[in-house]
Amino acid sequence: MTTVAETSTPPETHQFQAEIRQLLDIVIHSLYTDREIFVRELTSNASDALEKVRHEFLVKPDLPGAQDTLKIQISVDKDAKTFTIADNGIGMTRQELTDNLGTIARSGTKQFLTNAMAAAKSGDLHLIGQFGVGFYSAFMVAKKVVVETRSFASDAEGWVWESEGTGTYTVTPKAGLSRGTKITVHLKDDGKEGATEFAEEWRIKNIIQKFSNFVPFPVEVNDEKVNTVQAIWTRTKNDVTDAEYNEFYKFISNDHEDARYRLHFTSDAPIDIRALLFVPKDSMERFGMGRQDPGVDLYCRKVMIQKHPEHLLPEWMRFVKGLIDSDDLPLNISRETLQDSALIRKLSKVITGRFLKFLAEESQRDPIAFDDFHNTFGRFLKEGVVSDYANREELSKLLRFETSFTEPGKKTSLTEYVSRMKDGQKGIYYINGPSREAIEAGPYVEALRAREYEVIYNLEQIDDFVFDHMNEFDGKPLQSADKGDLDLPPLEAGEGEELSSADADALSGWMKSHYGDRIGSVRASKRLVNNPGLIVTEGHFTATMQRLMAAMKQSGPAETDGKSLTLEINTRHPLIRKINALRTTDEAFAGQLADQLADNAMLAAGLLLDPRAMVERLNKLLNKAAGV
């Protein structure tokens, strides 16, 4: 007789991807706190699987099984020391099994693991808990995990996935499985790592109580239903407690901390919307996790249409978690048509606008808390300024910067800057630099300081690109202080004798021919006060942008484009007057001084990319100064 051939098929053994092996190593050996989160992770995976199959049935109501009650069944067995969770959701094919439970597709995973391992070594488990480890969290408590699954596809076969979390897993076919996934966790039972508490019915009920009301499907523990499904976003704000909001946030985000901000709003016109949005305390992208996926789900009449759809909200809003529910959406909208739906665009516009307004209100209500938000999520806002033209203005009002008028470490807004502008001040001035100290010691701010103009200190390199995209704020041009065309009102004549304009022209001409292609032009400066010279840029790009572009160049030496650089000289400065005198009496020495002057100015601009020649010359000049 040919009975169940499948049971005699030998298991196929697979290696986990290297990253998963490392992840498992961390999960198994370092994570002992909060082990109960594995219950939430497996439950939310089951819930996701149910959402997916519900959507399939909505789109194709004729599929067999479309009338099933979708639910999650948990059972615990104290004697067998097992925890089992079953769902009649979408299930997995063989390919999906190995793709989903054997590899990590997410970009940035390597970096994440490096960080996670460092956190584990330093004992900072609190931090590591923030990286949701999903399915693999089962290995915190398991000596063996068995996954039995059959995909919803009508011709799908059943498969069993099994692993002890050490390097390999096996996959074996199995007949007779019904649609969905059943995961059996064989609990560790030895010594201090023992986890048999998770085979206690009261313990599991207790854990599930905390979040199961947010699971949109019935959850049963040993055949007893433990939750009443609630869509808290459909209740009025005053009826929902902080504790409920926080538990809900933790459920949808897998965060272990409360959210930083929460926005719960409803609107009936122009479209029906119920939205519940959260801003986490921390940004996952800060931990080097790579680019985050969007975190807002789309619902229609309390039923999830899609989890974390792309293109629902602008990309810069990907740090926001939550959901949007609209009665106006067709329930069976297909995921493909989602993104070109006019309704979705309208939803997106209303919600983004409301969220920006909310942030503006928060910045007024509690500026200190808002600064903290800005420190963590400011770069998303900046990304928005660059990529989301429709919301550029509102976003730019939320940006904060240090300036020459703020105390170190304190920040101000562009709106406040504008309110402080001097009579006759034409632009909003900024300069990029690695630190406040470096900027203030450099030559660029002195002309502005002499006129008592405020200067924004761009301490992040991307800031120049952001300002470049904005171009202006409140009708005032944004101008980098290292640009050649700063149109500043004249200052009263400063101290000291000045070269005649004929001498200044002759000196500039001599210097330009001495520099050749390294410097595009040389001219007498209207802005310098104390420094002998400075480099300004004539083209579109600031020095910082040029430096970044040079660094990103794929091949060849990192060079800046000399043609776009102008050396401005301070014709009142004794050194400049000395060079002018020397160029007729000791041209070689004048040349050395001119070269050093240009390199010093390049250094201050951050554009001296190869200092070797400069150091050699400096040594010669030192010898000369010391008379050796």
**Out of ligand ADP, Mg ion, none, which partner does residue 207 contact, by CB within 5 to 8 A per kind?**
none
- Minimum distance of ligand ADP from residue 49's CB (angstroms): 3
Angle at 192 between CA 187 and CA 193, to 5 degrees: 35
Query: Of 172 and 461, which CB lies nearer to ligand ADP in the complex structure?
Result: 172
Q: How far is CA 157 from CA 84, 103, 152, 309, in A?
A: 21, 22, 10, 29
Where does 87-154 have alpha helices with state H? Answer: 94-100, 109-121, 125-128
Q: Taking the complex as a whole, how short is the minimal distance between the CB of residue 143 and ligand ADP, in angstroms? A: 19
The bridge status of strand 219-221 relative to strand 180-187 is unpaired
Does residue 134 bind Mg ion (CB under 5 A)? yes
Taking the complex as a whole, the smallest distance from the CB of residue 135 to Mg ion amounts, in Å, to: 6
Binding positions for ligand ADP, rule: CB under 6 A = 41, 45-46, 49, 87, 89-92, 100-101, 134-135, 181
Q: Closer to ligand ADP by CB, 310 or 587: give it.
A: 310
Q: Which is nearer to ligand ADP, 91 or 591 (CB)?
A: 91
Pairing of strands 455-458, 472-473: unpaired
Q: Which is nearer to ligand ADP, 89 or 427 (CB)?
A: 89
CA dihedral over 468, 473, 476, 480, signed as positive or negative:
negative
Q: Which residue has the tokens 């789900």?
A: 297
Residue 116 and residue 131: Cα distance in Å, rounded? 8
CB under 5 A: which stretch of 128-136, 491-499, 564-572, 605-613 binds Mg ion? 128-136
- Could you tell me if 455 and 430 are in contact, meaning their C-beta atoms sit under 8 angstroms apart? yes
To the nearest whole angstrom, how small is the minimum distance from the Cβ of residue 546 to ligand ADP? 41
Q: Is 123 exposed, middle or buried (0-12, 13-18, 19+ CB in 10 A)?
A: exposed
92's contact among Mg ion, ligand ADP, none, with CB below 5 to 8 A by partner kind, is ligand ADP
The interface partner of residue 101, options being ligand ADP, Mg ion, none and the CB cut-off 5 to 8 Å by kind, is ligand ADP
Output the smallest distance, CB 30 to Mg ion, in A: 20
Nearest-approach distance from CB 44 to Mg ion, in angstroms: 6
Spatial neighbors of 535 by CB under 8 A, at least 6 apart, are: 482, 543, 565, 566, 567, 568, 598, 601, 602, 604, 605, 607
Report the distance separating Cα 269 and Cα 522, nearest Å: 62
| Beta carbon of residue 249, minimum distance to ligand ADP (angstroms, whole number) | 17
User: Crossing angle of helices 37-59/201-211, nearest 10°?
Assistant: 60
**Nearest residue to Mg ion, using CB?**
134
Nearer to ligand ADP, 140 or 604 (CB): 140
Choose the contact partner of 49 out of ligand ADP, Mg ion, none; CB within 5 to 8 A by kind.
Answer: ligand ADP
In angstroms, what is the minimal distance from the CB of 41 to Mg ion?
Answer: 6
Judged by beta carbon, residue 50 or residue 470, the one nearer ligand ADP is 50
Chain-centroid distance, C-alpha 205: 36
Helix (H), strand (E), coil (C) string for 525-545? CCCCCCCCEEEEECCCCCHHH
Which of ligand ADP, Mg ion, none does residue 108 bind (CB under 5 to 8 Å by kind)?
Answer: none
Q: In what order do the strands lie in the sheet with 168-173?
A: 12-15, 168-173, 158-163, 142-150, 180-187, 82-87, 72-77, 219-221, 224-225
CB atoms within 10 A of CB 472: 13
C-beta closer to ligand ADP: residue 90 or 447: 90
Residue 90 vs 145, nearer CB to ligand ADP: 90
Q: Is 254 in the site for Mg ion (CB under 5 A)?
A: no
Helix (H, G, I), strand (E, B) or coil at 87: strand
Q: Name which of 92 and 593 has its Cβ closer to ligand ADP.
A: 92
Considering the complex, state which of residue 77 and residue 96 has its C-beta at the smaller distance from ligand ADP: 96
Q: Compute the distance between CA of residue 347 and CA of residue 418 in angstroms, rounded to an integer.
A: 33
Nearest distance, CB of residue 340 and Mg ion, angstroms: 29
Out of 22, 45, 181, 184, point to the residue binding Mg ion (CB under 5 A): 45
195 binds, among ligand ADP, Mg ion, none (CB under 5 to 8 A by kind): none
Q: Which residues contact 227 (CB under 8 A, 6 or more apart)?
A: 208, 212, 213, 215, 218, 219
**Angle between helical axes of 18-30 and 109-121 (0-180°, round to 10):** 20
Give min distance, CB of 217 to ligand ADP, in A: 12
**Cβ-count burial 94-112 (b if 16+ within 10 Å, e if not):** beebbebbbebeeebbeeb
Indicate which of Mg ion, ligand ADP, none lies near residue 87 (CB less than 5 to 8 Å, by partner kind): ligand ADP
Q: Does 367 bind Mg ion (CB under 5 A)?
A: no
Question: Nearer to ligand ADP by C-beta: 218 or 484?
Answer: 218
Q: How far is the CB of 113 from Mg ion (least distance, A)?
A: 18
Q: Which residues bind Mg ion (CB under 5 A)?
A: 45, 134
